[in-house]
Structure 1
Amino acid sequence: MFEDKTITFIGSGIMGEAMIRGLLGQKNVLPNQILAADPWAQRREELQDRYGINVTEDNREAAENGQIIVLSIKPQTLPYVLPEIRGHLRRQDLLLSILAGVPIRKLADGTAHAAVVRAMPNTPAQIGQGITVWTATPEVTEIQKQQAQAILASLGQEIRVEEEDYLDMATALSGSGPGYVFMMMEAMIDAGVHLGFSRRIAEQLVFQTMIGSVNYAMESGKHVAELRNQVTSPGGTTAAALYHMEKGGLRTVISRGIWAAYERSVSLGKGKTEDDPES
C-alpha cells in the first residue's frame, strides 16, 4: 500500500509523533519512508534518534518530497504554513489534515490542492486508543482512501463519513469527549477523598471502575440503559446516587455541553473566533 511512497509530516508534535510511532509499530512503512518537518532543531534530533526517520526544518521540502502529506500543526499556525506549501503539492498527492476546526475548503483553497482528507482524532490517539472520524473530497482515489485509513488506524479506531458536517458532530462527541470523561473522573476522585480515601486509592478505584465499565459495556452488547438498570437495585445505594444526579440535571447539563461544543466547532469552521464562550 505504501510501496515507494514517502509520508511527510508538517508538524511533528504529540499527535504527529503518535502517527509516526503507530505506522512504524505496525510495520506499514520503513523509517526512510517518513519525513518529518519541525522548526525546532532539538525536536528534529529527538525524532531522528528515536525512530530513524528523515527530518527537515523546511515545510516546502516536506510538501515537495512526499506523496502523502500530513498536516499536524496547531491550527493557529496554519496561516503561516499555507503560503509555504501552496503550489508544491502534485496533483496525484494526498493531503491529510488533523487540524481541529479547519474545513476542507480552507485547506483546498490554501494549498491549491483538491485531494484532501480531513480527520478529527481525539486525545487517546496519543497511545493508540483513540477514535478518528474522517472524510475525503471526491478527488481522493480509492487507493488514497485506503492509505488514509491505514494512517489513521495507527491512532486507534477510525470511522469514515461521507459528509464533512459529521466532523463537527464528532468534534463535540469524541473529539472533546475525553475532557468530559476527565471531569467526571476528577469529580469522583474528589468525592472519594472527601469520603476518606487517600487520593492514590481513590484514583485507582475510579480508573479501574471506568475501564471495567467501558469494557463490560462493549462486550455485553446491551444498551447502556439496560446495564444501568442492572446495577440499580430498588432503594439501594446506586439508586440514591442516580436520583440526586438526575435531580441535579446531570443528563441535561451533559447534553447541553455537547451541543455547545458542536456549535462552537461550526462557528470556528466559519472563521468566527470570538473569545466569548457564549458566542
Structure 2
Amino acid sequence: MSKTIVLIHGAWLNSRCWEAWKARYEAKGYTVSAPDWPHDDRSPAQLREAPDPQLARTGQKAIVDHFERIIRALPEEPILIGHSLGGVFTQHLLDRGCGVAGVAIDPAPTPGVPLGPNAIVSALPVFSDLLSWKKAKVMSRRFFETRFAQTAPKARAAELYDRYIVPTAGRVYWDGVTGASGQIRWDNPDRAPLLLIGGDLDLIADASMTRAIYKKQKRAPSRTDLKIFEGRSHWTCMDAGWETVADHALDWAVANARPARSAAAAAA
C-alpha cells in the first residue's frame, strides 16, 4: 500500500492551503507532497504584491504536465487528492495513469460537464474581462467573503484572505471553456479508483456538477464513488470540520487503492 500522498491545490490558492492536511497526514505516517503550481512558489503576500509575469501565460495543460513530472519522479505511486481546479487536474492525472487512487474535492468545471448556475456566476469576474486570458487576476475580498468562503468566520475573513489567497491565471478559466486542457477518457480501463466529494453549499463548483462528473466517471470499470457533505462550502478543506473531510478522503483512498506498480511499469 502506498504511503505517499500528493495534494493538488486549485485556483486562487497555493500550497499553503494544504498546511493542516499535510500535518495531519504526516502524523499518520505518510510522506506528503503539496507542490505549488508553476510560478506560485512564494508566500501569498509576495505573490499578490508581485505576481510572476509567467503566471499569466500558464494554462491547465502546463500545470497538469508539471504535476505529472513530479509524480513520475516519486519513489512510489502516490494517492492523489485535489481540490477545486486541483480536482480537475486529479482526474486528468488519473486518466494519464498516475496514482493508485484519486480524490477530487469540489471539482471545478470539468471538460464535458455542463456548468452549474453558481459556477457561472462565480466565473463572471474573470470572463467579464475579455482580456483576462492573458492576465493574472486577483480575487476581491468581497468575493472571498461572500462566495468562495462564505461559511468562514466573518471576523477572521481578512486574516484568512491575507494568509491564503493568491493571484491566478485567467487563462485556466478560459482553458476550461475552450477545452484546451484536453478531454478525459471517461471509460478508461486503466484509471485508478476515484472518489468525488462535493459540498451542498458550494457557490464555486455546484454539487450538481460533482454529481454530473460522477455519472461520467462511472463509465470506467474501476471503483467510482460520490460523497456530498451537507453544510459545507468551497472552503471545505480549511473550514471548521475539515478533519472529517480529510479523514474520509484518505480512508476511502486507502481502502480502495489499486496495487502500486513498479517505477518502471508506472513510467511506461
Does the alignment reach a TM-score above 0.5?
A: no
Normalising by the smaller structure, the TM-score range is 0.3 to 0.5
Normalised to the residue count of structure 2, the TM-score between the two structures is 0.33
Would you tell me which structure has more helix in proportion to its own residues?
A: 1
Normalised to the residue count of structure 1, the TM-score between the two structures is 0.32
